Amino acid sequence: MKPISGFSKMSKVEKIDYIVENILKGDNRSKELIKSFWHSNDKLQSVLDDFSENTLTNFYFPFGVMPNLMINGQLYCVPMAIEESSVVAAASKSAKYWLERGGFKADVVDMKKIGQVHLYWPGKASKLIEFFTSKIDILREACAPITANMEKRGGGLLDLELRDKTDLDESYFQIWASFNTVDAMGANFINSVLERLGKSFRALVFEEESFTGYEKDLQVVMAILSNYTPECLVRATVECPIEMLEDKNVGMSPEEFARKFERAVRISRMDVNRATTHNKGIFNGIDAVILATGNDFRAIEACGHTFAARDGQYRGLTTCSIKDGMFNFTLEIPMALGTVGGLTSLHPMAKFSLELLGKPDAAELMKIVACSGLAQTFAAVRSLVTSGIQKGHMKMHLMNILNHLEASDDEREKVRDKFEEEIISFNGIRDYLQELRNY
């Protein structure tokens, strides 16, 4: 294969033809496969094509729901888009479990988002900071045409500060800005304000008569929001008396279960290897709802992982306590979400997901997503300290194995009966199917 110039200017059909002819050696079966995933509605397909670049087709994920998620006394049926076996089933089981024990509680601690303008200036730090402080009103006024609509909705630019970062790098400063973007994720709004701040401050420095020579040389390196939003924070909790954890299926007393569960969570707070897998379980639930509602799961994950390492060691994002006969399991996580604009308005399934949730505002969606993450990780840890993770996971994975091995309906029924109480493995099922087919 040779490098190609002008690929992005080709039509979608031309791109497919090029790939089939030059990479896939003329395999027209691949062309048919690609086209088979096009949406039958041409207008909708055109919208989907414009979400990204060099689009060839659509890549499908299963879209399921978690019913019975009770949050602050309100019942939700939560959309989840995810391909991993057992996630939706486990989260749903957890939601039903806690429905019978008072449900989930959640609250939004704050919704502040931040952005930075990164600057280099060769003068005395105190002089630049004093000058910046004196010009804050002028800088706000320069941003007014951008912030006006957001302010009408109850948000806008909150605080402005110039921070001295010369301890990190010579002549390095940051304009530190905080925002409330209400129900929008607000990335474009924040970045537009930051760029205006950078240009306006650079012009003010250049025009200031008290700055001479090298002091007029303020360099704006970049202006960009930060996906680390520790003050855009949500907390989700489940709590009940220990005796209410009674469950005949776990094979242990509620006291023993609570003690093992608390220790497992404590391990995730101490050991980075366990913490990584523990947090992955949380994001199994979070990402599925984020994706279904058209939000940016990559930004949420990056922020969550940074928050998990905020004290210098990467830790599990949940805490568990047993005190005065009460079991408490809590997730606290930063989460910048939107329910207006972007894909939430353009993607039909994202719009449907928000309708399914009762058209929540951003704060309510933060609570729903956090509780979904807590539900999923409760189910995961519960399995780990009782029956083990593989029993439930492999039962759900069984369908993938049977599909891979192209089992018939009759074969599927026999395999399910055979492996009801046996360890499920790909090789074991393959060998059993071979026996059935050779019989």
Tens digit of each residue's pLDDT, the chain (439 residues): 789 999 999 999 999 999 999 999 888 899 999 999 999 999 999 999 999 999 999 999 999 999 999 999 999 999 999 999 899 999 999 999 999 999 999 999 999 999 999 999 999 999 999 999 999 999 999 999 999 999 999 999 999 999 999 999 999 999 999 999 999 999 999 999 999 999 999 999 999 999 999 999 999 999 999 999 999 999 999 999 999 999 888 889 999 999 999 999 999 999 999 999 999 999 999 999 999 999 999 999 999 999 999 999 999 999 999 999 999 999 999 999 999 988 888 899 999 999 999 999 999 999 999 999 999 999 999 999 997 655 555 566 677 788 888 888 888 888 877 877 677 778 888 888 888 888 7
What does the alpha-carbon distance between residue 214 and residue 220 come to, in Å, rounded to a whole number?
15
Whether residue 31 lies in the annotated active site: no
Provide φ and ψ at 196, rounded to 5°: -65, -40
- For residue 80, give the H/E element and its range: strand 74-81
Q: Under CATH, which number does the domain 113-225 receive?
A: 3.30.70.420
Nearest to 160 by CA among 206, 208, 114, 219: 114
Whether residue 118 lies in the annotated active site: no
Q: Are 422 and 428 within 8 A, CB to CB?
A: yes
Model confidence, pTM:
0.89
Catalytic residue among 84, 239, 271, 332: 84
Q: Are strands 156-164 and 105-111 parallel, antiparallel or unpaired?
A: unpaired
Whether residue 435 lies in the annotated active site: no
The C-alpha R_g of the chain, in whole angstroms, comes to: 27
Catalytic residue among 15, 113, 278, 393: 393
Cα angle at 303 between 302 and 307, to 5 degrees?
Answer: 120
What does the alpha-carbon distance between residue 91 and residue 379 come to, in Å, rounded to a whole number?
6
| First vs last C-alpha separation in the chain | 48
Catalytic residue among 287, 296, 301, 364: 296
- Report CA dihedral (391, 396, 399, 402) to the nearest 10 degrees: -20
Query: Residue 380: how many CB atoms within 10 A of its CB?
Result: 25
CATH 3.30.70.420 placement within the chain: 113-225
CATH 3.90.770.10 placement within the chain: 63-110+233-387
Q: Are 121 and 221 within 8 A, CB to CB?
A: no
Provide φ and ψ at 183, rounded to 5°: -95, 0
- For residue 134, give the H/E element and its range: helix 125-134
Whether residue 280 lies in the annotated active site: yes
What class does CATH assign to 63-110+233-387? alpha beta
Q: Are 86 and 153 within 8 A, CB to CB?
A: no
Catalytic residue among 105, 260, 280, 414: 280
